[in-house]
Amino acid sequence: MKAQLLIANGVREFAVATPSAVAVVDGDRHLSYAALHERSSRLANALLDAGLAPGDTVAVLLGNQLEYPEVACGIAKAGLVMVPLNPRLTQVEIAFVVGHSGAGALVVDASLEELVPGDPPLVLRVGGSYEQALAAAPTRDPEIWVDENSPFCVAYTSGTTGDPKGVLISHRSRVLTFYCSALDWGLGTGRRSIAVAPMYHGAGFAFAYGAIHTGGTVAMLRSWDPERLLTLVAEYRAQSVFLVPTHAQTLRALGDQALRRHDLGSLDTLFFNAAALPVPLKEWVFDALPGTGVHELYGSTEAGIVTNLRPADARRKAGSVGHPWFMTEVRLVGDDGSPVPAGTPGELFSRSPFLMNGYLRNEPATQACTTEDGFLTSGDIAVADEDGFLRIVDRKKDVIITGGLNVYPREIESVIDGYPGVGESAVVGEPDDTWGERIVAYVSGSVAPADIHAYLRLHLAGYKLPKVIHIVPRLPRNAAGKVLKRELKESHASPR
């Protein structure tokens, strides 16, 4: 085995070290490391025998299921590049990604076949031709070695500001993420985790496949169901689980009795990403799962993981996303590019081995977010306190300029979320003839706008108060759990 940081090497290692250990659980189906190694080798050979060459791309349209890890591993063994697809996209959106990435093959679950665009050169249907292809292929590992700095996948952004961009993520970047995740969040040999977040998303893949790459076991949660998650934790004695704040919201909505019906004593680590945990929700997690360490991390598809707030500081630094993660440098700069002092908002740049290689066939976009000395920004505004803990104030593009003053929506959201009866909130700026932009809040929960206004007046300066508050059933989110503020702006919700 070539001594490089390659996606397939973890499976290769543990197929020898612990061949009978269970790598993946999906309902009543189990896959050992020996079987995962063999099946992924079969897939690699099937793809190569079909005429694909190292460096070619393979699109993957699957949910959280047993086949996902073996498909990712098989693509890597063949020296190919994976293009994960979101099953929630339309056929037109999927066609764009498949076309832009130049995918020479598509692995798709049979239940999602209606989303397949046009006539791809090669389609392997899980639940059909996929198993036939594996059965006919050799079991030997093809051992197509690539450089660890070459891309293992092209992860497409959500496209909230235009066409999706293809983020080139290297083997080295992702494998280092696996090892550091195992160190910080308890993945690895003898440890059990659950694939909750969708594996077609970067974080969902990293923390599910990371368990496998480091010798652990991962159980698949096919779709989000809070009761089902609790059942899986109890049934498989899961120890470490990755969630987004929305998951915690729906778990809390079940009621404390629902948690008490399940034996959750095995759970020792929770780690959250996608958005800051509102402080009241975080306090609920502490109270509901008192023996569980809670981490709150921050990152992006382009930068990987940037920071982590570890359990020792979780309460005293609530609202923060912690310090820079392993091997990561961070700097905050003002509009003139100069570093800003503690307590002053600045655009966050990071430099680490986790950064993307760039955007596929989009050099202008790559140059727009990177610096000559190797730092990258995802456009977020952050503040460092006197101890160096970082707090994400907002997306740079989400900053509201009203009457010439900068207003950071996240500051307002954190106050709204602390009001009794509020589920969650999102604050946006909308055009205003007088002020340039006016502040508008969207709030879910059993609350009255007038009561929220009265509460906010006690906690925020007048220029930060929303002009309008819409009460909505829920906030629209993408697969990563991030609120789609553009959809809110385009909605027709009316104030109540």
Q: Where do the structural domains in the chain lie, given as residue ranges?
A: 9-384, 399-490
Instruction: Select from 298, 315, 296, 278 the least CA-distant residue to 444.
Output: 278
Q: What pLDDT score was predicted for residue 496? A: 38
Instruction: Select from 446, 445, 416 the least CA-distant residue to 428.
Output: 416
Report the predicted TM-score, pTM, of the whole model to 2 decimal places: 0.85
Quick one: tokens of 152? Answer: 């293992």
Q: Which fold has domain 399-490?
A: GMP Synthetase; Chain A, domain 3 (3.30.300)
Q: Cα angle at 142 between 141 and 146, to 5 degrees?
A: 115
Q: What pLDDT score was predicted for residue 242? A: 97
Q: What pLDDT score was predicted for residue 414? A: 86
9-384: in CATH 3.40.50.12780 = yes
Q: What pLDDT score was predicted for residue 407? A: 82
Residue ranges, the chain, pLDDT below 70: 1, 158-162, 275, 404, 479-480, 491-496
Instruction: State the sign of the Cα–Cα–Cα–Cα dihedral 287, 289, 295, 297.
Output: negative
Residues ≥6 apart with Cβ < 8 Å to 107: 58, 59, 60, 61, 62, 67, 71, 124, 126, 130
Q: What pLDDT score was predicted for residue 480? A: 65
Amino acid residing at 294? V
